[in-house]
Amino acid sequence: MAQHNELGKKGERLAKRFLIEKGYKILATNYRFKHLEVDIIAQQGEELIVVEVKTRQNEYLAGPEVTVTKSKQKAIVKVANAYVVENDIDLEIRFDIVSIILNDNETKIEHLEDAFYPTL
């Protein structure tokens, strides 16, 4: 597996543990719809939380959350809609980003709640 893929998987595991510690119930990880994927789908109270995890080794150019472009957001919304339909879910949906900086010197996790809103 390529080094960036290993870093991403490690970041997803850290994000999952982080969310569980915050009281989130993890419903799915790496949920796929067609060729698209969402990293984590969780529930907290009466909200369905769809989480994109972005892991980088440093913040030199920009934080990992900056890479969640409008087209990526649209893809995440499509996958979330498929999950809701497939599982007959009737909850409010929130889109979050967990941004992780992970290297030999630090592990920094930032949770951006309501990171973006679905657009029509």
pLDDT digits (tens, 9 = 90+) for 66-116: 778 889 999 999 999 999 999 999 999 999 999 988 877 878 899 999 998
pLDDT of residue 105: 80
pLDDT beyond 90 at 120 = no
pLDDT of residue 17: 96
pTM above 0.85, yes or no: yes
Q: What is the mean pLDDT of the chain?
A: 89
Written as six digits, the tokens of 17 are 């543990």
pLDDT beyond 70 at 56 = yes
Q: Is 28 helix (H, G, I), strand (E, B) or coil?
A: strand
- Whole-Å CA distances, 99 to 35, 36, 79: 23, 20, 20
- Domains of the chain from N-terminus onward: 3-116 (3.40.1350.10)
pLDDT of residue 68: 84
**Quick check: 33 and 82 in contact, CB under 8 A?**
yes
